[in-house]
Amino acid sequence: MNLPLLITTIAFLLLSSHASAKEDCYDCHGQQGGRTYVNKDALVQSVHGKIACDKCHLNIAPYPHGTVSKVNCGICHFLGRDGAPKEQAAEYKLSVHGLAAGKGTMAPTCQTCHGGHAIYRSADPRSSTSREKIPALCGRCHAAELGVYEKSIHGTLLLKNNVSSAPTCFDCHMEHRIPSASEAKWKLSLVSKCGTCHPEEMDTYHKTYHGKVTRLGYTTIAMCWDCHGSHDILPQNDPASTLSSKNLLSTCAKCHPGATESFTKFYAHAEETNRAKYPVLYYTFLFMTLLLIGTFAFFLTHTFLWAYRALKERIQKKGGM
Ligand code: HEC
Ligand code: HEC
Ligand code: HEC
Ligand code: HEC
Ligand code: HEC
Ligand code: HEC
Ligand code: HEC
Ligand code: HEC
Ligand code: HEC
């Protein structure tokens, strides 16, 4: 037998045995309706379409399999094997979920959110982690937060009106590196997150007492959600808003126990140049500015005339001597 023929034969045998291993799995797992049915189309079209079964299902013995261990996504994603993206697994490990997962709680693993076989890229509408599907997914364990979010302006827009620019859970909490809701660093970065979608309100907030102190790194002072709510954000003209005329006083009083009706007139987003929105502030600003310019103009003129007069008198006195 010549060498090239030998190589071709061996290559053929290797390839066909590999292919038949995969077909073998489907022999038993391809039956629709079976408890262990594997949907071939979903798997082939998924991001892992080209990966062999036994790369994920490690140590799977021929049937009977014996104990089948759970798939560990980290064997590729934690190390970045074969070009698998690895940032997500590293971030997940540090998250509230990753830290809780090892302790026998009901914390989600990669599979809980992404599924096992039907994993698609985020842009694919079939993806289980798309923006619109995320609230229901998180809500499986955080039902109370979901219930409130659904009724907020953000939730209504995203889930009922299909406005994909409205924030979903991970815009505020992040996809993988979800920190504890009491983490100061996260809170400070969340202000800028709100600000990417509401830049004007963030700028004006930063001009107020609350905003300036937040900028210095303190989190005990009013941040966006202390006034607006976090999951229950509504427009101010909605009676249920934490800032409606009915609720405004109690919202400020959480931190300012002695607050009165007039205290709430403080401008949370003062913009002295916006006449339409803050007429009183605008005219006060205008009046104070004019008063300042007027006072300066008057006294400057006065001083000049005074100096001129004094000089003239002195010259006249000199001439008289
Ligand atoms: C001869 C039939 C047969 C073949 C071939 C077969 N399996 Fe199975 N497999 C089963 C049966 C039946 C079960 C149900 C659990 C049990 O009784 O062990 C199972 C269970 C499993 C499970 C665990 C499912 C669960 O949730 O309990 C995995 C994973 C699995 N098989 C993967 C594979 C892979 C990968 C291949 C190909 C390398 C394969 N199987 C080939 C019959 C087969
Ligand atoms: C990207 C990794 C990956 C590949 C490739 C893969 N699986 Fe799976 N498979 C999973 C995960 C994850 C689960 C969910 C259970 C778990 O977490 O262990 C699963 C579950 C299963 C189950 C249990 C039934 C179910 O749907 O829950 C069977 C049977 C199975 N796989 C067979 C196969 C077969 C046969 C192939 C190849 C044709 C294959 N798998 C390829 C990751 C993979
Ligand atoms: C055998 C190695 C391996 C295992 C195990 C594995 N993956 Fe992957 N995964 C890859 C590779 C390689 C890619 C890149 C595919 C590509 O870009 O074509 C990928 C891509 C992905 C993507 C898409 C990334 C993107 O940029 O769009 C997601 C999501 C994903 N994997 C999730 C998972 C989850 C969840 C599990 C566990 C159920 C898992 N993977 C298990 C190798 C693996
Ligand atoms: C709590 C739910 C959750 C868990 C747990 C989770 N992910 Fe994700 N993952 C997401 C969301 C949400 C996205 C973003 C999808 C988007 O932008 O639409 C994502 C995106 C990804 C991507 C990029 C995919 C793309 O197309 O952009 C990869 C890769 C990935 N995850 C891998 C993993 C791995 C590996 C694990 C386990 C270590 C894991 N994820 C755990 C929810 C989760
Ligand atoms: C607009 C930003 C935003 C969105 C969207 C959002 N959250 Fe939150 N979430 C927050 C803030 C801010 C806090 C902290 C509340 C505080 O400190 O008063 C929080 C706190 C939490 C907590 C901790 C418990 C608590 O109530 O303090 C959980 C759990 C939570 N969110 C889950 C979710 C889920 C699930 C979704 C999607 C249905 C979601 N969040 C959407 C901003 C958001
Ligand atoms: C399978 C159930 C499950 C799913 C799904 C889930 N979580 Fe969690 N989550 C938990 C558990 C359990 C904890 C508590 C961890 C602890 O107490 O240390 C937690 C904690 C949190 C916290 C911290 C709460 C605090 O008091 O500081 C936030 C924020 C959070 N999850 C957000 C999310 C978001 C956003 C999603 C969706 C992308 C999500 N969770 C999906 C189970 C889940
Ligand atoms: C991903 C973008 C995005 C993020 C992040 C976001 N929002 Fe929004 N928000 C929107 C959109 C879109 C609307 C509805 C359109 C509008 O009126 O501006 C909205 C509406 C609002 C409204 C009602 C506005 C009105 O005119 O009636 C308030 C108040 C609000 N958001 C506050 C917040 C706060 C506070 C945060 C951070 C905790 C936040 N938003 C984070 C996109 C976002
Ligand atoms: C001290 C409380 C307070 C803080 C802190 C605060 N706001 Fe406001 N916000 C208000 C009040 C009161 C209004 C309504 C009156 C106005 O527009 O000045 C408002 C109006 C808004 C509006 C217009 C919505 C509407 O209903 O008309 C948006 C959007 C908004 N704020 C976002 C933010 C963001 C983003 C932050 C953080 C960067 C923030 N706010 C911080 C109290 C606050
Ligand atoms: C999360 C707590 C919190 C909330 C809610 C809050 N503030 Fe404040 N605010 C503070 C703290 C702390 C200071 C620092 C000065 C102090 O201790 O009074 C401050 C300072 C101020 C100041 C300047 C200092 C002063 O006492 O004259 C004004 C004005 C003010 N807040 C108005 C408001 C108004 C109006 C609301 C409601 C729309 C509000 N705040 C809601 C925590 C809060």
Q: Count Cβ atoms below 10 Å from residue 23 Cβ, excluding itself.
A: 11
Same domain, 197 and 262: yes
Measured from the alpha carbon of residue 84, the closest ligand is 3
How would residue 12 be classed by pLDDT, with cut points 50, 70 and 90? Answer: very low
What local confidence, expressed as pLDDT, does residue 14 receive? 43
* 1 or 203, higher pLDDT: 203
Give the up-direction half-sphere exposure of residue 286: CA atoms within 13 A in the CB hemisphere.
Answer: 9
Give the integer Cα–Cα distance in Å for 39 and 16.
22
- Residue 311 within any structural domain of the chain: no
Same domain, 85 and 164: no
- Residue 31 within any structural domain of the chain: no
Same domain, 99 and 153: no
What integer is the mean pLDDT of 114-131? 93
Q: Is 67 in the pocket of ligand 1 (CB under 6 A)?
A: no
Domain count across the chain: 3
User: Atom 25 of ligand 7 has which residue's CA nearest to it?
Assistant: 235
Which residue, chain included where needed, has tokens 């002695």? 258
Looking at the predicted structure, is the pLDDT value of residue 1 above 50? no
Same domain, 112 and 41: yes
* 49 or 21, higher pLDDT: 49
Q: Is 112 in the pocket of ligand 5 (CB under 6 A)?
A: no
- Residue 291 within any structural domain of the chain: no
Tokens of 133: 């599907």
How much distance in Å is there from the Cα of 257 to the middle of ligand 5? 25
Is the full-model pTM beyond 0.85? yes
Q: What is the pLDDT of residues 79-89, one digit of tens each?
A: 999 999 999 99
Looking at the predicted structure, is the pLDDT value of residue 232 above 60? yes
Q: Count Cβ atoms below 10 Å from residue 266 Cβ, excluding itself.
A: 13
- Residue 274 within any structural domain of the chain: no
Q: Residue 224 is part of which domain span? A: 180-269
Q: What is the pLDDT of residues 261-312, one digit of tens each?
A: 999 988 888 777 777 777 777 777 778 888 888 888 888 999 989 998 999 9
- Residue 320 within any structural domain of the chain: no
Looking at the predicted structure, is the pLDDT value of residue 316 above 50? yes
